Amino acid sequence: MNASVVLAPTVAVSARVRILEAARAHLFAYGYSALTMDALAHDLGMSKKTLYVYFPSKDAIITAIIDGIGKSIRERMDAVLSNPRLNFSQKLCGVSDVVGSNLAKASPGLLHDLQRFAPQLYQKIDDLRQRNVPYVFGRLIRAGLAEGKVRHEVDPDFAVEFWLQAIRGLVHPDVLDRTQLTPRQTLEKAIHLFFGGLLSTAGRKDYEKHLAACEKHAAP
């Protein structure tokens, strides 16, 4: 009988969470290549055989990590964008903070590692970006238009597509090498530059008013 069948559900969930937490810490600290099932089993104090009960491979573990990060970002974004007490500038600050706090953990070296040794996982990250960017920034830009904080002549669909392609290019490992910026620094500079061109006069004044607090909150 398969060992995973006889495990109590709570035990299985607890073990799965432990595995994912340990693998995530190892992945962000040392990269994809350094993460092995042997090392992970050793860190967790379990046999490699037990580890395979929960995940069939290293890539399956990292896939679950990426899915979990994507789900967490989407939920946090929804909470910011759906909050009726926040105006457009505060939502922009909140969105930037959510994305930035996750990008802070991803080094250019990790992205290079995934691109070279696990292109299917690198593509999965890009697929998540292509789904989430239009959803999140489309809502954000339309909220800015409704409040008069984004210039009325801005086409939200084109603006979202422009932003998606800009971000995809800017966080490419080769581009990060040239700019010598981290993914989080890239995002912050891109948001200031991109939204600086979209904002109306009123929107720019309001954004500048909230910017200092936003940057203070985002600082490590």
> Is the domain of 46 the same as that of 9?
yes
Q: What is the pLDDT along the chain (220 residues), one digit of tens a residue?
A: 344 444 555 666 799 999 999 999 999 989 999 999 999 999 999 999 999 999 999 999 999 999 999 999 999 999 999 999 999 999 999 999 998 888 877 888 899 999 999 999 999 999 999 999 999 999 999 999 999 999 999 999 999 999 999 999 999 999 999 999 999 999 989 998 898 888 888 888 887 777 666 665 555 5
CATH number for the domain spanning 46: value is 1.10.10.60
> Is the domain of 94 the same as that of 183?
yes
> Is the domain of 82 the same as that of 155?
yes
- Give bridge partners of residue 150 from the DSSP assignment: 199
pLDDT confidence of residue 133: 92
> Is the domain of 153 the same as that of 196?
yes
> Is the domain of 129 the same as that of 163?
yes
* CB half-sphere exposure, 101, CA atoms < 13 A: 15
> Is the domain of 103 the same as that of 36?
no
| Within a domain: 125 | yes
Give exposure, 79-116, as e/b (b: 16+ Cβ within 10 Å): ebbeeeebbbbbbbbbbbbbbbebbbebbbebbbbbbe
| Residue 174 in tokens | 């080769």
> Is the domain of 89 the same as that of 196?
yes
The predicted model scores a pTM of 0.83
> Is the domain of 114 the same as that of 183?
yes
Separation of alpha carbons 52 and 48, rounded Å: 6
> Is the domain of 101 the same as that of 155?
yes
Tracing tokens 């007490």 back to the chain, one arrives at 85
| Domain housing 120 | 66-218
